Amino acid sequence: FVAHLVSDEKEQLSSEALEAARISANRYLSKFCGKDNFHMRIRCHPFQVLRINKMLSCAGADRLQTGMRHAYGKPTGVAARVAIGQPIISVRSKDSFGPSVVEALRRAKFKFPGRQKVLGSKKWGFTKYERDVYAKLRQEGVLALDGNHEKYIPNHGKLRAPRVYK
């Protein structure tokens, strides 16, 4: 079973919000699925640096600050820019833990601003193949293990091409 937490707005998600959502979902899944029965992946990365131009508001501050002249601020944090329909968190597990995965993503949704949706997937794990296509390709032996993914090995090419699945 695979589910995604998908953004419904174009927005920025702070690294603190991403970490809070990860902790929330991980805690729920560890409690109800067990630590070894799920694989969670954070799909967006906070590369955008947030800055602030601090202004003083006390007496005599008019001699210190320059308003908007040279207003390049100091970094305060980092955020991830997210588009509409972009997955934020993905979780894969056994089919029996499907309701727990959906509930964990629903709880993680409260850590973010804006709107998000929890969507189920028809794919096999984090691969790009649907369940029936994946089973057929694996039966034919044209898939090779590649970490958490599968790599398609076509029948044409070098004669000594390695076959991983027999």
pLDDT over 90 (residue 160) = no
Tokens 């044209």 belong to 142
Question: In the prediction, which pLDDT does 126 show?
Answer: 86
Instruction: Take residue 86 and report the two structure tokens written for it.
Output: 């972009």
The verdict on 101 and 129 lying in the same domain is no
Average pLDDT over residues 105-127: 93
Report yes or no on 62 lying in a domain.
Answer: no
The verdict on 88 and 13 lying in the same domain is yes
Question: In the prediction, which pLDDT does 156 show?
Answer: 72
Question: In the prediction, which pLDDT does 125 show?
Answer: 86
Residues 74-115 have pLDDT tens digits of 999 999 999 999 999 999 999 999 999 999 999 999 999 999
Confidence of residue 139 (pLDDT cuts 50, 70, 90): confident
pLDDT over 60 (residue 132) = yes
Range of the domain at 22: 1-51+74-121
Number of domains present in the structure of the chain = 2
**How many angstroms separate the CA atoms of 143 and 126, rounded?**
14
Measured CA distances, 37 to 32, 49, 86 (Å): 10, 35, 25
Domain-terminating residue out of 85, 103, 121: 121
Is the pTM higher than 0.85? no
Three-state SS string over 64-119 comes to CCCCCCCCCCEEEEEEEEECCCCEEEEEEECHHHHHHHHHHHHHHHCCCCCCEEEE
- Most confident range, picked from 54-58, 74-78, 140-144, 146-150: 74-78
Question: In the prediction, which pLDDT does 140 show?
Answer: 85
The verdict on 84 and 157 lying in the same domain is no
Report yes or no on 56 lying in a domain.
Answer: no
